[in-house]
Copies of this chain bind each other. A is one copy, B any other.
Amino acid sequence: MSDEVKSTNITWHQADITREDRERQNGHRAVTLWFTGLSGSGKSTLAHAVENALFERGCRTYVLDGDNIRHGLNKNLGFSPEDREENIRRIGEVAKLFNDAGVIALTAFISPYRADRDKARAIAAEGGFMEIYVACDLSVCEERDPKGLYKKARAGEIKEFTGISAPYEEPTAAELIVDTGKETLEESTAKVLAMLQERGVIK
């Protein structure tokens, strides 16, 4: 807080509103829920299900996923290693801004590299980043293949496809693991909500 006079006609300077102020206004903590897992593991579906449950409880939330990021903020990024890293970097920075604004950010990207996820964690507020590993057997993801991407990857039409021709580095210290191949969406959603209560994010 500064009471420095920044301009000749400004005689008062209010303190900026902090994340804590906004958390009080919203009645919950503002954290990032970082969903990571293979294509087809159900990250986005689960993130939206969690968001729906939180919205019904009156929480402020926002899901960052391919639909609103790849066609907007990150539309100038491709799939080279550098671009993938920059993709995740920007998402981490935006999630941080949302947290600062008092909003629970839910990110749903494959984010296959541990180093990239750790960077997103590193810029978040202390205790404000929760990695949720959406584990699901590759065979199940490939059977679902909601966008037909595995089929194309197997046919060699997509190069460097995570799980097929590019690595997925499993989280080693995720705050939560859900297995969407064995749990129902309701069960996985309930596990996330229970974690949020245990960690004092929501009441």
Contacts and interface: CB of A to CB of B under 8 A. Distances in A.
A121 interface: no
Given A10-B185, A49-B14, A52-B14, A97 B94 contact: yes
A55 B180 contact: no
Interface of A: 6-14, 16-17, 21-22, 25, 40, 42, 45, 48-49, 51-52, 55, 58, 60-64, 68, 72-73, 76, 86, 90, 93-94, 96-98, 100-103, 123, 140, 143-144, 146, 180-181, 183-185
Contact of A7 (B98, B103, B146): B146
Contacts of A48: 14, 16
Contacts of A73: 90, 93-94, 97
A181 to B, nearest CB: 7
A7 B55 contact: no
A17 B53 CA distance: 11
Given A62-B100, A94-B94, 9 more contacts: A6-B45, A6-B146, A10-B185, A11-B185, A25-B58, A60-B60, A73-B93, A76-B86, A94-B97
Nearest to A144: B7
B9 A184 contact: yes
